[in-house]
């Protein structure tokens, strides 16, 4: 974070422009006051690029609400909100967003992530890779519950265990959510439609119970794709 960055309108415009907004994009801007210069600069750049702009503000007549096409404070205030998230990695930005939603008058904020809690950092992709596995919301919760972050990981990755539910409750409280319910791993595997032994589930259960290591699984999955691409 940079001190005073929120007051730099030009920087907001430049940062948004660097993302290459297009006409089929939606840009959501959140500012409790509705007058943050950084957000206003970003909104102007997004609209100039043809993107749909949506404002979440605490004051209906605020400049940001006027600058965006859809000011939605009215959709937040006094309502119960349910969000579907792809995953919760660290949860830092999500926590800030949840706080702002309550500041805008939300009665309740519920979250339903599309994948199970991340317990292990992915050694192959950037999906859940962090500087430390302690950056993961699941590991932070386990550390608080156990006094160390690598204890009873099999139980914490098992959605039917009491420890799993304790971990999810810790994450819910830290994020400030009204309720939090993750997708179960077995349901996710079922939706994908492939046998679990053909999938890498390391991020969620460390490939617990697998006959092959995740590296062997990865090689097995990639070989057909590599062969097809070489034809």
pLDDT at 189: 92
Amino acid 130: pLDDT: 54
Which residue reads 């929120």 in tokens? 6
Average pLDDT for residues 42-69, to the nearest whole number?
85
Residue 229: predicted pLDDT: 47
Supply the pLDDT for residue 1: 46
| Higher-pLDDT residue of 212, 134 | 134
CA distance 35 to 176: 25
Beta strands, E only, 51-200: 52-57, 70-71, 80-85, 108-113, 179-180
Nearest 5°: the CA angle 227, 205, 145 is 155
Residue 165 vs residue 219, higher pLDDT: 165
pLDDT digits (tens, 9 = 90+) for 66-116: 888 765 666 778 889 888 888 888 888 788 778 878 887 889 999 999 899
For the chain, give the percent of residues with pLDDT over 70: 81
pLDDT at 137: 93
174 token code pair: 């830290």
On average, the pLDDT of the chain sits at 83
Average pLDDT, integer, range 9-31: 90
Quote the CA–CA distance of 151 and 111 in Å, as a whole number. Answer: 26
What integer pLDDT is reported at residue 169 of this predicted model?
A: 98
Contact criterion met (CB below 8 Å) for 31 and 63: no
Encode pLDDT of 159-202 as tens digits: 999 999 999 999 999 999 999 999 999 999 998 999 888 888 88
Domains by residue range for the chain, with CATH: 1-71 (3.40.50.10490), 77-223 (3.40.50)
Give the predicted TM-score (pTM) of the model.
0.63
pLDDT at 218 > cutoff 70:
no
With contact defined as beta carbons under 8 Å apart, do 158 and 117 qualify? no
């Amino acid at each position: 974070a940079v001190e005073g960055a929120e007051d730099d309108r030009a920087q907001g415009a430049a940062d948004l422009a660097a993302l290459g907004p297009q006409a089929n994009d939606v840009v959501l801007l959140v500012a409790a006051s509705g007058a943050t210069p950084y957000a206003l600069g970003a909104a102007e750049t997004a609209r100039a690029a043809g993107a749909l702009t949506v404002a979440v503000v605490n004051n209906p007549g605020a400049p940001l609400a006027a600058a965006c096409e859809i000011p939605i404070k009215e959709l937040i205030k006094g309502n119960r909100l349910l969000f579907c998230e792809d995953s919760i990695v660290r949860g830092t930005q999500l926590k800030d967003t949840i706080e702002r939603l309550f500041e805008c008058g939300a009665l309740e904020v519920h979250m339903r992530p599309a994948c199970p809690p991340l317990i292990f950092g992915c050694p192959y992709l950037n999906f859940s890779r962090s500087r430390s596995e302690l950056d993961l919301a699941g590991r932070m919760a386990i550390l608080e519950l156990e006094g160390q972050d690598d204890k009873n990981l099999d139980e914490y990755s098992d959605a039917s265990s009491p420890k799993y539910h304790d971990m999810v409750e810790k994450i819910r409280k830290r994020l400030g959510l009204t309720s939090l319910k993750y997708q179960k791993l077995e349901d996710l595997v079922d939706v994908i439609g492939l046998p679990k032994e053909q999938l890498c589930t390391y991020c969620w259960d460390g490939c617990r119970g697998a006959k092959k290591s995740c590296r062997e699984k990865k090689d097995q999955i990639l070989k057909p794709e590599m062969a097809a691409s070489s034809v």
